[in-house]
Structure 1
Amino acid sequence: MRKPRRPDVTTLELVGGAEALELELHSYDERWASSYLEHRRRISDTPMAGKIEIQHIGSTSVPGLAAKPIIDIVVTVDDITAEEDYLDALVDAGYELRVREPRHRLVRTPARDVHVHLFEHDDPAVDDYILLRDHLRSDAEDRSLYENTKRRLLSKRWDDMNDYADAKTDVIAAIKARARAARGR
């Protein structure tokens, strides 16, 4: 990874603090792909500086996988620390800043139904998101394991969405390890 123009933040800033959310899984909905495309256009039309790349990630990007009805999108930028190159444009397009942390920013819609994750182009987290998405699209057994894990976890109350996400870490790590092995990496 190349060095950013300025030092990045060193801690997690959760704009608005922790949020208790009632989450439930929905059967796969083909409209999720259309929603992604709508937001892809919206993001592409913003006057962000530099090169950007946009991809649909997360469970809503995997046909057949039950998911929380939240569209996750990853956008890569030239320099995550140069927020003036992208953040104001996204806010002007109707997104709200939710997370600022080292190497990552997250904006979302006011309805909280679209999360846009921002990273630099060469951030390994982006490759991990794509690896997991592509593997779940092609491996029915791991897709089922992941869905069953989410169902089990969502039967509990979560005071913060980040705690729910952290609880999936071990299963996601195991799936990604199998995905890497299947790709010979």
Structure 2
Amino acid sequence: MDNQMEQDNLPVWAFEKIEIKKPDPKWKDKGIREIEQLYILLLTFGVKHVEHIGSTSIPNMPAKPIIDLMASIPSMKSINKIVKTLNSHDWHYVPPELDKQPWRRFFVKVKNDKRVAHLHLMSEGEERWDHFLKFRNKLRTNTQLVNEYAVLKSDLAQEHNNDRERYTESKTEFINKVLLT
């Protein structure tokens, strides 16, 4: 009963199916606009770095049409104020107990009940920051990796269409392989 009540209270976008779309050159510009807006919104909290990561940041990569971004802040002390600031601009906070990734604070930007962007907010010095950049940059320079990853993502999107966590977890082996090369 409690589980059903919890699910009934979750927003529509929390259950959005995974759809991989053809590469869209507009993703780059959308990323730039989101980065610019985040700098404006988060500057007072000490944010100095915002990056467009994920598949939409890689030319010719099929992807979920969601702009993935990451930003670093000196500390998480101001997280309540950050949540309030971002919430007023269509960003929804996913608390750590739901996100299950204690190294970040996660936000989902929503328009018309659909995800349009994700923000991975990390403390400065978080090692995953470099991993995200390294992975993105390797794919940006290697079309063979892009092709392999595109096939994998397409297969996994079909296999785990309604399970974002499983979809993401299932990409880990490929990502780790790329990071080790």
TM-score, reference length from structure 1: 0.80
Q: How far apart, CA to CA, are the structure 2 residues paired with 1:113 and 1:40?
A: 13
Sequence identity, in percent?
22
SS at match of 2:56: helix
Q: 1:99 to 1:134 in 2, by over 3 A?
A: farther
Q: 1:74 aligns with which of 54, 70, 74?
A: 70
In the other structure, the counterpart of 1:140 is: 143
Q: 2:47 aligns with which of 47, 51, 55?
A: 51
- The CA deviation at 1:105 is 0.8
In the other structure, the counterpart of 1:105 is: 105
TM-score, reference length from structure 2: 0.82
Residue type of the alignment partner of 1:62: I
Q: 1:25 to 1:62 in 2, by over 3 A?
A: same
Q: How far apart, CA to CA, are the structure 2 residues paired with 1:176 and 1:157?
A: 24
1:30 maps onto 2:33 in alignment = no
Q: How far apart, CA to CA, are the structure 2 residues paired with 1:99 and 1:164?
A: 20
In the other structure, the counterpart of 1:4 is: none
| Contiguous gaps of at least 5 residues in structure 2 | 1-8
Identify, as 1 or 2, the structure richer in helix. 2
Aligned runs of 1:1-185 on 2, under 5 Å? 16=10, 19-47=14-42, 48-84=44-80, 86-100=82-96, 101-110=101-110, 111-178=114-181
Residue type of the alignment partner of 1:30: P
Q: How far apart, CA to CA, are the structure 1 residues paired with 2:138 and 2:117?
A: 22
- The CA deviation at 1:107 is 0.8
| Root mean square deviation, CA, Å | 2.1
- Kindly report structure 1 stretches of 4+ aligned residues shifted beyond 4 Å: none
| Contiguous gaps of at least 5 residues in structure 1 | 1-14, 179-185
